Structure 1
Amino acid sequence: AINLYGAPALSLDQFKNYQQDLIVGVSMTASVPWGKYNDSQIINVGANRWFVQPGIGASKAIGPWRFELAGAGIFYTSNTDFMGGNSLSQNPVYSTQTHAIYYFQNTAWLSVDATYFTGGQSYLNGAPISGNQENWRFGSTLSYPINRHNSIRLSASTGAYSRTNNNYDLIGLSWQYRFGGGL
């Protein structure tokens, strides 16, 4: 991942006074075939295929608010040794997510989020074996500082629409610890 615009590298002292404006960045993730793969089993540790995931995102600060928008695509190679020499392939999966985040005076923050996924139809030897995925999720997160190094985070999300019957609700509680000096 790399920032293309905004968010310069700062020392700890400089960071205390940093005021965000617009930040734009890109990322590239890749996964190589790893783990033992047995072509006679449907479930394997390894997938016997590569994927690459380019992404782009932006964050804009307006007062105590941050508005974020990001998009990505996951592109898969085929598994040409699936279940005894068959070819398993998958169309790309595209995603977008957006966040509206409010920062309180005490450094607590609250966000509302939306995520959308589409694509990913699978094929066995060129014949479709699944339809396109299409999913909407909505959520929210509250992060509350306990002290300079510790905070508690409560998050929740729900599936608002799913074309593939994989809706679920999620509630999470986590403790965050920040290493190093700081504010």
Structure 2
Amino acid sequence: MNTGSMKQAMRSRFALVTLLAIGALGPLQALAQVPARFSWDTLSGAIAVPLIFESINGNTNPFDPAHIVTPGANFDATMAIAGYARTFALFDRSAMAAILLPMGRISGDVTVAGRTFNQSASGFGDPMLELGITVIGPPAQKNIPDVMRYEPGFTVKLLADLALPIGEYDSDQPLNIGQNRWYGRLGLPVIWQLGPWVPGRRTTLELLPAVWLFGNNTDYVGQTLETDPLFQLDAHLTRDFTEHLWGSLDAVWYNGGQASIDGVQGEKLDNLGVGLTLGYTIKENLNLTVGYKSTINDNAPGDLQMDGFMATLVFGWHPLIEGSRRLKEE
């Protein structure tokens, strides 16, 4: 590889780490909103280890993506998520598999069947498995030249998540870290490239229509909790400020997800949220993302009310890229 190609490959590494950093973070964000740039494809065989920290306040349990509203409640939660993600080629298409483990604590007031509980919970939540694959767009990136040539253009992916109901759960109280039921998501992430694909000048419009599906919790304080499917639409307008710094304007819409407890139905969600995200490549293998999200049409007692800060630190690597770096240093 000549010097010019090597420099370009080193630049590609910054993009590689950024894509890995965000790609591993989809399932369990505050407001269940998927972050910007998480759907960008990257080099097959890459690995990322994310650590996410969130401080969240609102009238729903942020560990539960069903977002069942408790009118008048005020929950405070501290959440951390550790994960592992790997990219690979499947049928010559870019794919990614990830596992994430939420943990933390939550406290606040909960009202169930006319009774108010002042409760707290802590521990490990439900692990979540995620699989994503490109169905429309560029082929899998199998080497450094593929990374250098990559442009998303118009890309559509298929995304599937499944949570394993093994997190901390106390059937004597409604507020828990684990949810004691199966749940998951099916989505179609869309990336629309706007303008040239040059580091420092990249702009994208990203959409993710998805539906969350929930099993029944048959031991919800001695009752049965059921939740209808919840439709969620995420949108992001992202822009590079420099080769290492980018920002995003974020929005999310929730619709549906009507919950019932022993047949007594609650309200459907029809809520909007907005946010800001900044991402920065600290060094070649380390990426930092910070953001703030909040609901906006949340004045009525039954509206979803939630806001939170999030910081994400991700370490990512690829044997091929690391080998190229060592050759350059020699």
Q: Mark yes or no: TM-score above 0.5.
A: yes
Deviation digits for residues 121-180 of structure 1 (CA, Å, limit 9, x no counterpart): 22122221x212232111111223333233443322222123545434333444443323
How far, CA to CA, are the matches of 1:125 and 1:17 in structure 2?
56
Q: Deviations over 1:94-135 (max 9, x none)?
A: 10010111124524211111011122222122221x212232
More strand by share: 1
RMSD across aligned positions (CA) = 2.6
| Unpaired stretches in structure 2, ≥5 consecutive residues | 1-131, 196-201, 326-330
Return the offset for 1:44: 5.0
How far has the Cα of 1:46 moved from its partner? 4.6
For residues 29-178 of structure 1, what are the structure 2 equivalents within 5 Å? 29-35=161-167, 39-44=171-176, 46-63=178-195, 64-84=202-222, 86-128=223-265, 130-162=266-298, 164-178=302-316
* Partner amino acid, structure 2, of 1:171: F
Aligned residue pairs total: 181
- Selected match of 1:20 from 152, 157, 165: 152
In structure 1, list runs of 5 or more residues that go unmatched. Answer: none
> For residues 3-47 of structure 1, what are the alpha-carbon distances to aligned partners after superposition, in whole Å with 9 as ceiling and x for unaligned?
101142111332023222111011122224325766444345653
Please state whether the residue corresponding to 1:20 is helix, strand or coil.
coil
TM-score normalised by the chain length of structure 1: 0.81
CA distance in 1, matches of 2:282, 2:220: 51
Paired with 1:34 and 1:72, the residues of 2 have a C-alpha distance of 24
CA distance in 2, matches of 1:51, 1:109: 33
SS in 1 for 2:185: strand
**Structure with the largest fraction of helix:** 2
- Specify whether residues 154 and 42 from structure 1 end up closer, same or farther in structure 2 by C-alpha distance, changes over 3 A only: closer
Letter paired with 2:210: A
Deviates more, 1:136-145 or 1:108-117: 136-145
